[in-house]
A and B are shown apart, each in its own frame.
Chain A
Amino acid sequence: MADSKFDPIIHAPNRLQICALLSPLDQVEFRVIREELGVSDSVLSKHIKQLEDVGYIKQKKSKVNGRERRWFHLTAKGRSAFELHVEELKRIVSDL
């Protein structure tokens, strides 16, 4: 676990799921992430903020029918960190 590829910020279950959900897509709306994770707005916001703080995800705001929508995407840094983390998980599994 001491390997630098293992990312403790990503590894937390909810954050791992957020990154996994964002990874095959371009942008995902807040409500979709919330629905897929099955968590409350506040819990999701907390995890998103942690990922934003380290520069792994970014958000864009748009207005649809007067309602503000928040869209999230993985940054290049976040995508790279996520891919390395997945590689590391695979390595751990294959080392068994």
Chain B
Amino acid sequence: MTEKKHIQSKEAQEALDSIKEMQHAGIKRILPTPRWLGAFLGVLIGVQIALLGAEIRTYNTILIILIVIMAVAIVNKNKSVGVTERIMLSKRNVIIGLICIIPLYFLAIISGQYLKNHFEYAWAPIVIGTIITIGFWSLIVGAHRSYNNKFKEDKS
């Protein structure tokens, strides 16, 4: 009985090791959004907000096209390596997040326009655009850190 139990425990341990190994292999396949890609997307969004805040619409179309291309590139990045990351957020949380982000985007543009027109702060749209870029960049860096921590935890 002890022998049987020992074998079972050994087998169970081997199975657990195998599970750990495969989970590690799976996580290793997920690539976080490259920092340069995130930085570039952040700069594009920041520039768009700054230009719209300054009421310069000449480059708006090209900026929107570039932002969409970058966003699609980020979404398809993991698909190209054959895995997609498991998002722990529920659909409800994603919708709430979007409801918060979209007004924030317009608020940034309107704030830039308001500060420029009413107080003649010509630099305001640039500052707001820079803040948005830094905020976006911080999110990407945060995601990278979280990925690295998760990877290290899993490895240990």
B8 touches A36 (CB 8 A): no
- B-side interface residues, number (CB < 8 Å): 27
Note all chain B residues with C-beta closer than 8 A to A90: 12, 16
Taking A16-B19, A17-B22, A22-B26 as contacts, is the C-beta distance between A27 and B5 under 8 angstroms? no
Is the beta-carbon distance between A24 and B15 smaller than 8 angstroms?
Answer: no
Is residue B33 within 8 Å, beta carbon to beta carbon, of the partner chain? no
How many A-B pairs have beta carbons closer than 8 Å: the answer is: 80
Complex alpha-carbon distance, A71 and B84, angstroms? 9
The listed residue (A11, A20, A95) touching B22 by CB distance below 8 A is A20
Tell me if B16 and A95 are in contact (CB < 8 A): no
The residue on B at minimum CB distance from A31 is B82
| The one of A11, A24, A71 that contacts B26, using a Cβ cutoff of 8 Å | A24
Question: Which residues of chain A from 2 to 41 have any CB-CB distance to chain B below 8 Å in the complex?
Answer: 11, 13, 16-17, 20-29, 31-32, 36
Taking a contact as CB atoms under 8 Å apart, the answer to whether A21 and B9 are in contact is: no
Taking the nearest CB of chain B, how far is it from the CB of A11, in angstroms?
7
How many of chain A's residues have a CB under 8 angstroms from any CB in B? 27
Neighbouring B residues of A86 by C-beta, 8 Å = 16, 19
| Residues 5-62 (chain B) with a chain A CB within 8 angstroms | 5-6, 8-9, 12-13, 15-16, 18-23, 25-27, 29-30
Cβ-defined contact, A96 with B5, below 8 A: yes
* Docked-complex contact A92 and B9, CB < 8 angstroms: yes
Of all chain B residues, the one with the shortest Cβ separation from A29 is: B82
Chain A residues contacting B81 (CB-CB under 8 Å) are 32
Q: List 20 interface pairs A-B (beta carbons < 8 Å), by A numbering.
A: A11-B15, A13-B15, A16-B18, A16-B19, A17-B19, A21-B23, A23-B23, A25-B83, A25-B84, A25-B86, A29-B82, A29-B83, A32-B83, A36-B22, A89-B15, A90-B12, A92-B8, A92-B12, A93-B9, A93-B13
Residues of A within 8 A of B (CB): 1, 11, 13, 16-17, 20-29, 31-32, 36, 64, 71, 86, 89-90, 92-93, 95-96
Residues of B that sit less than 8 Å from A by CB: 5-6, 8-9, 12-13, 15-16, 18-23, 25-27, 29-30, 79, 81-87
Given contacts A17-B22, A93-B16, 10 further A-B contacts (CB under 8 A): A16-B15, A17-B18, A20-B18, A20-B22, A25-B27, A25-B83, A28-B29, A32-B29, A93-B12, A96-B5
